[in-house]
Structure 1
């Protein structure tokens, strides 16, 4: 269960009594199963007590319990009532046990529903779904399998610290479980996800699913007044130490990586969309700060390919600056046409300017390619770090997304040497304690692991755990327990998405992010693996840039 800001989505919390004993009372879905989840049932008192005293005791122990009301009596669950499924071969009901609650993970549920048919709509009277944002995509096999089962249950409780990680559209599968809110998903999207045409200009939304200010405020009000109860960590866990964030800047030293990075950035700058504009602006700002990795001197009689490409970029940036100045001057005095007409005219003129600049850029690249070893009267010197692939061939067809993904991979690889150096320094200092390192790409995790000589061999002083998408549930839990309890295990190498939820790593108060992720909420979830109940120290999160 999430320890961060908590959202509780519920429907029909009380509807009649339990009734037919042939039905299971409840199903609890979790991201991962832990020994703590199973052992908590031993703490439940076996004798019946008054409701007030029971609830007070439960709150004191901070337990997750399910209380079943039958007429006027209260019955607490016994250990024998709870069955935890660890594989698809396990039966829902154990022999000689009166199973009332079944606990299983998200990984098992599609198999139990689609293949073995052990779980069907109507099997459970109540279902509790922890980390319900795992159902945010209507197209995933998990969501398709679970929604009919959830909708058929008379009672359903959804728990999540981040119900929507990126956009309001992710709420729809969860809300569809809780009641008949709209006729269909399209009506929800039309109302709260896709802004009306009149709001696009005012709110700057491009229709990509972010909604607009008015629709988001209306949706928030609707949810909080009906099915959503929000509890913020700062209000609930006032004794929790603060979380500190820092930026650590790294200077790129690998010349080959510099060349490749600038090659892809040049491709990105050729775009006429938002990415192209941001890339051009960033490039101009860096040039003004003198941070470009190559400088072009007119006094030199030779030039590298990278320098030539950089010169072409500078020419394009200068053309863009001059062109925009001319456009702005031409629009002075045209306000009588109306704000909307002026804006449309500006967009049209800027698009024409970008097209002209791109044409000039392509022309200059052809000159570079076909210059017989010369460019602008200077001899082209192929640097030792240049690969055999021409930077001008086969790249024009690359999509902006593929270029961006390549840049994303390179930024992670570029930071690995510096992180390895700092990690070795950390391991050589026994007073530093434990450390969690998050990254997204497996190649980055592999390079950090091998580069820092992390090993779990007997007597090793660099023992570690690793959790990524390929880690099996049993190994995952064993790794977490080892990191939490074994003082010789000092490093956790973690995938941002694989270990960002359902993991408690409070033995460490230091987190390094070797890579960023597309969604900020995922990063916050990863931070909270250490910043949660049980943490005694300030949590220091370092983001390498």
Structure 2
């Protein structure tokens, strides 16, 4: 061991470790020197001197104060024995174990000042590509350049219901910012600062002005980007000034309290009691208007910043929320009553068959979606073609596929049929319908899954998330605490395009809208409490907050329409709609028991055998197959009716043929507490009209469960506009008459007709047969329309042979209907 190390009273163990490190370093150096070219070997003798000088330097630094030659500054510098050993080991290893191809000559240290500078130089290694100065400055020379400030990174996390804290290291300028926040609070136990959520934006803006500080936003929140909300820097500055009105507006001692509410796209209303100074300010506004009915003043949005009611000490004025200020930023610069028309989207790369089929209002929906960069809530009324619009929007972003479609279980295969019909360029085998939890969620170009399965497959989330997602009946996500919502939100959070579809986004209260807003525009209301206090009439009760109310609904409607929602009612586009819209809903027989499946297989084989014998035997075999089909479809029928009720359909008709199906439907409705009427062959004639009158006058949910043969004529039920055929029937004329129970004089809306068709059952035979008969009637002028021309389905447009139908049945059973097989044409 060198004598210099022995002079500091090291223990034998410490001396042994130092010697071992030195020997290892020397061995590594010897190995490298063996590979060095001869030109570098001549400088070997300088290395021990360099190491010895560095060790002497450390000893000098520890034993004495660091004093410059001019004595201009003299901070005491002392280190513990542990620190000393650390420097000895690190410097000795660093200097001996050089990484260069050869050992450089180091000039002897001539004085204390140069030794000090060399010591600091050893502690900070140069970055790759950086060159050290050839000569260190003397103590009496120029002062070295100041080291750049180290960047401090931290994050904002939730602290309590109304407060957040900042987890970050020490930074003097940041502490100054913290102390300037009104709601500041320092917790000595955690050594962290926490603040009121109302001051969140103020803190983030001030922290952003510090170049050496980076704070991650609160979970779910995004920093407001004023430049993105406006087109000019001047407008961004004006918006930032309006945002500052949202901070510190509460005045505990205020005598008069009020609030600002947006009442139209260009005007706001001030709801406040009488106060002379307030009225004086109102009368100075150029756009002032007093409404005699509401007894409230309203102004153009561009005058919002000029009100300055917060400057009155006795007045507390609740400002417009930041979400409104951002969404209507252009209106605060110059108010316009009409919303700009979205530009025409370029759909040249979308299948022509789809684009040619779009109605004008549906094309407007696609334009709106593209103008919102593929993130929207399409809330059109039922029957306006949300499905075809969503497919067109998704096809516009086809380059970003694979696509994920999440839908109710009863319509999964209907979505698959719709894609096959409207996007013929997509191969049928690239459509993946997830049937069980064992199936892959990402095996197809188009992946369709139910809400319940999505929850069960939560652990199978793909490593690369979906960029384009369609959520059918998105109001299923209304409760953030449900498992289906917890499974869906992470996918929506990472998706680039989010297309939500729902005819009834909120079933009963505004709070049900929040999760859908969060999915499309997370930055609009990052915290539910902010949304709840503004639009849910939130009240703080002894056990917590109550968000079951509603408030400022007009402003909420304007805000949603400006940012993410498009909603058209049937009455608004009735002139573009046909009187009847037929839709084939493809259902499955999954979940039926083995006995029913065996009966279906036997009936299918019998029908295939009888087709080569006599016509009467074929009809008898088909009738048996039809009876077994009714039992196999019951579960799918119940699911579809439940989905209709959950979607907010209050009144509709359900037609069936078999008593078993009618009994199952009424039993399900009774268990759910849904009001219903039932008319079948056993219903007396005197009771029929009473039941119809009860259905017509009902103001709440009511379902008419009807026999397709006993209630297909003589009844008027036009208070409903939806008819569901749970079962098919041989005679198309009977079906048309059943449809007309709602499509008759007095009907003010178009009528939606849904036919539930199950693959692998007698429906595969009946539906093409019905179409063929309708074609014959149409050719002789005895039928107004062909069902196949109006029905939204592609798989049943031609008659299939019995053998092809049987093959389809067996294939469906064998593959568990893993994907929809097209019907073979002959």
TM category, shorter: 0.3 to 0.5
Relative to the length of structure 2, the TM-score reads 0.26
Relative to the length of structure 1, the TM-score reads 0.37
- Higher RCO structure (Cα 8 Å, ≥6 apart): 1
